[in-house]
Amino acid sequence: MNRSTLFGRLGKDPEIKTLPSGATICTFSVADDWRYQKGEEWIDRVQWVSVAIFGKRGEAAARALQKGQAVALFGRFEISQWKDKNGNPRETLTFQVESWQAGAVK
């Protein structure tokens, strides 16, 4: 089962686009940060996760969310595959949101 919850802060304001199919998509990135200890030293790490929300949920997210805001995202990870302009295979991992909650505490 590919179901996940992602907590983090928006790295930029959401962008809303209309796809050639007429569907709308809202995209932004979320900082997933954590800390771990290596010997006596504490290391802080940040991983950026690409997020996509389709349709009316995405339109609502674009109106409600902004850079730096904490959010809880519920959905699944999806790998998109394509070829770049030179014909090289590429992949992107994106978190596809099914529902979200603003102001979530990490």
Predicted confidence (pLDDT) per residue in 50-82, tens digit: 999 999 999 999 999 999 999 999 999 999 898
User: In angstroms, how far is the first alpha carbon of the chain from the final one?
Assistant: 24
> Which tokens hold the place of 67?
């850079």
- pTM of the full structure: 0.82
Range of the domain at 69: 4-102
Residue 11, pLDDT score: 93
The Cα 92–Cα 95 span in angstroms is 10
> Which tokens hold the place of 51?
């997020």
CATH number for the domain including 96? 2.40.50.140
| Residue 104's pLDDT band (cuts 50, 70, 90) | low
> Which tokens hold the place of 53?
């929300």
| Residue 105's pLDDT band (cuts 50, 70, 90) | low
* Count of domains forming the chain: 1
